[in-house]
Amino acid sequence: MAKKKRLIMRTVILIGLSAAVIYALYTNLNRDKMNSIEINSKAPDFILTDMEGNKHKLSEYKGQGVFLNFWGTWCKPCETEMPFMDNQYQDYKEKGVQILAVNVGESDYAVKNFADKYKLSFPILNDKGGEVQSAYKVNPLPVTFLIDKDGKVIDEITGGLTEEDIKTLMERVKP
């Protein structure tokens, strides 16, 4: 009887492990399809609040280019690119390019401390519930979406950016 129970238990474990391996393979093979917004599609609209309590609705930026960046305070590439983003924001905000930096679910305290440390001047929004992160299928961080003056996503860039990269990308969405 004990041998039969061990056999059943081993079979159940083997089936569970097999299912996990199949799932991992499936998600890795389909990652590009699952984790991206279609280029030239309308950007998913959202309303988020910045650190000063102001609401920002993406669709209200129609007519401007938007550099939409998803980030976290714990993300080293994010930490590196944020001051570069702020430098370029100073040059491009008068040229019709807006930066919206969406933090992915951290406390206002952590986000505000980070923004103060780097003296960031562009709107920093907090996606506490992760709804916008889900709508944009963001994973991993950092991810930047370029949205043109008509509200269409023209590119998605994953990974950290240099200051030169950011300048080039802002030129692409400048109206």
138-175 pLDDT, tens digit each: 988 999 999 999 999 999 999 999 999 999 999 999 99
Q: What is the reported pLDDT for 33?
A: 43
Measured between alpha carbons, how far is 158 from 14 in angstroms, rounded to an integer? 36
Q: Give the pLDDT of residue 27.
A: 54
Q: Are residues 162 and 99 in the same domain?
A: yes
Who's near 119: CB < 8 A, 6+ residues apart? Answer: 86
- In this structure, are 21 and 86 located in the same domain? no
Q: Helix or strand or coil: residue 152? A: strand
CATH code for position 55: 3.40.30.10
Q: Which domain holds residue 23?
A: 2-31
152 lies in the same domain as 121: yes
Q: Is the distance from CB of 77 to CB of 160 less than 8 angstroms?
A: yes
> Residues 92-116: what's their mean pLDDT?
95
Task: Using the predicted structure, report yes or no on whether residue 20 has a pLDDT greater than 60.
Answer: no
* pTM more than 0.75: yes
Residues 59 and 13 in one domain: no
pLDDT of residue 148: 96
Are residues 67 and 9 part of one domain? no
What is the tally of structural domains in the chain? Answer: 2
Q: Is the pLDDT of residue 15 over 60?
A: yes
Gap between the Cα atoms of 127 and 34, Å rounded: 20
**52 and 23 both lie in a single domain:** no
Same domain, 147 and 163: yes
The mean of the pLDDT values for the chain is 88
Task: Answer whether residue 35 shows pLDDT above 70.
Answer: no
**Per-residue confidence band for 32, with pLDDT thresholds at 50, 70 and 90:** very low
Asked whether the predicted pLDDT for residue 97 surpasses 60, the reply is: yes
- DSSP letters of 75-136? -HHHHHHHHHHHHHHHHHGGGTEEEEEEE-S--HHHHHHHHHHHT--S-EEE-TT-HHHHHT
* Parallel/antiparallel/unpaired status of strands 65-71 and 97-103: parallel
139 shares its domain with 107: yes
Residues 146 and 113 in one domain: yes
Do 16 and 54 lie in one domain? The reply is: no
Q: Contact at 8 Å (CB) between 127 and 105?
A: yes
| pLDDT at residue 134, rounded to an integer | 92
Residues 94 and 17 in one domain: no
Cα atoms in the 13 Å half-sphere on the side-chain side of 42: 6
Please say if the pLDDT value at position 102 is more than 90.
Answer: yes
| Residue in 97, 79, 80 with CA at minimum distance from that of residue 88 | 97
Say whether both 22 and 44 belong to one domain. Answer: no
